[in-house]
Structure 1
Amino acid sequence: MALLCISFMANAITLDDVQRSFASQPVVRAKFQQDRQISGMAQPLHSSGEVLIAKSKGLWWQQQHPFPMTLVLDDSHMVQIMGSQAPQIITADSNPQMFQFNHLLRALFQADRKVLDENFSSAFTDQGNGKWQLVLTPTTTPLDKLFSTITLEGDKYLNRIALNDLQGDFTEITFSDHRPNPPKLTHEEQQRFAF
């Protein structure tokens, strides 16, 4: 019995394991589905599209439905493009609060332990069969004024983010069709980060 317990404990997933796993993935492409339930609205808002997470470049988020919108986050810029409009570029100097959120968003996708520990208290659960859950409770402003909890769930990849905000709204983002190959950005993918 004791051997069984030791064996089980040796195989339990930790947050450090998740961070190592995510760090070993230089590029991940996936589809996303986002459902936002806004307090006072009967029907949730649905959106969907593609996401690209490149450790060396940042995050590229392309909403395809219900309308086209592209968001690019890197270390120094946040670029938003709505349809055929000119790109709107935000930097850390022009909007520090938005940029802090940008930095956090990238940290969530990469399970960046340092950034997460600086901004949240966390409860990590190994759910068995390689699955895990991380519940983050904000400890710093402005995050603690926006969210009650942020929950991440996954296995080898991040599969779900749930945002509970203090206004009573709830956002769920699910990811599917994860594609780590090719492990380097294609020429076309590199152009998505050129601003």
Structure 2
Amino acid sequence: MRRLIAALLCWLALGVHAQAQDPALLQHILDELGSHASVRAAFTQSRENPALTQPQVSRGQLLFVVGHGMLWQVTEPYRESLALTGVRTARIDEHGQLQTVRGSDRGVAQVSQMLQSMLSGNPEDALRQFEVEAHGTATRWTLRFTPRQERMARVLRRIELDGDRYLQGIQVELANGESTHISFADTRDAGPLSALEQRALGITP
């Protein structure tokens, strides 16, 4: 899960001067995403690989707080809770204790940084090395990212984001035929955070 999300979001984190087909629509989307300081959602992640007969599916809950990071909590088919911020990645055990994740800190930290950029509506940290196409309307839109550089295109075919008031789906297609789709449901403003959520994200009450 971490590898797939990190692959998606660290590619996007390379920055942008977006040349979208509809600049006004793109700006509206970024403004709308940036209007939510904290968001909760349920997610379903499905990974397809030509070598696998069935997709690998996981489900869980996401909490994202602008300026602090996110909690990514898998509930099926196993249980795992991760706190991802710009300075660390930590696993939350069954007792609510944080254990720093070693070895993948750099890649996983880019996950949080990318979400910070996209969900805070900051185009300067999202799209510099991609051709960007904005389609649809202000109430139902799609952003398509296609790599500009041949080196990146050898790995990544394209990424699509779709949404309305919130980001509702992410589709990642790799050049080797693998694909990952993440859909979000019951997306809403987060409301008050629990003491554990605040501690995990380094938020001072």
Task: Please state if 1:23 is matched with 2:12.
Answer: no
Aligned residues: 180
Equivalent position amino acid for 2:99 in 1:
P
Match of 2:131 in 1: 121
Q: Deviations over 1:115-174 (max 9, x none)?
A: 12224221111x237100001123469854542111100000000000111221111000
Give structure 1 regions of 4+ aligned residues with deviation exceeding 6 angstroms.
82-86
Q: Could you tell me which residue of structure 2 aligns to residue 74 of structure 1?
A: 85
Q: Output the CA distance in 2 between the equivalents of 1:53 and 1:142.
A: 31
Shift of 1:74: 1.4
**d(CA) in 1 for partners of 2:93 and 2:149?**
31
- Tell me the percent identity: 25
Q: Which residue of 1 aligns with 2:19?
A: none
Residue 104 of structure 1 corresponds to 114
Q: Is the alpha carbon distance of 1:111 and 1:142 closer, same or farther for their aligned partners in structure 2, counting shifts above 3 Å? A: farther
Which amino acid in the other structure matches residue 54 of structure 2? Q
Unmatched runs of 5 consecutive residues or more in structure 1: 1-11
The match for 1:153 is 162
In the other structure, the counterpart of 1:40 is: 51
**Contact 1:78–1:102 under 8 Å retained in 2:** no
My pick for the range that moved more, 173-182 or 114-123, is 114-123
Q: CA RMSD in A?
A: 3.1
TM-score, with normalisation over the residues of structure 1? 0.77
Unaligned runs of 5+ in 2: 1-22
CA separation in 1, counterparts of 2:152 and 2:30?
Answer: 22
1:18 shift after superposition: 1.4
Q: Residues 75 and 53 (structure 1 numbering): CA distance in 2 closer, same or farther, change over 3 Å? A: same
Change (3 A) 1:32 1:14: same
Which one scores higher on RCO, CA 8 angstroms, separation ≥ 6?
2
The structure 1 residue matched to 2:193, chosen from 185, 190, 194, is 185
Larger Rg: 1
Q: Distance in 2 between matches of 1:24 and 1:59?
A: 17
Q: In structure 2, do the counterparts of structure 1 residues 143 and 67 end up closer, same or farther at CA, with 3 Å as the change threshold?
A: farther
Residue number in structure 1 paired with 2:7: none
Distance 1:30 1:150 in 2: 20
User: Normalising by structure 2, what TM-score?
Assistant: 0.73
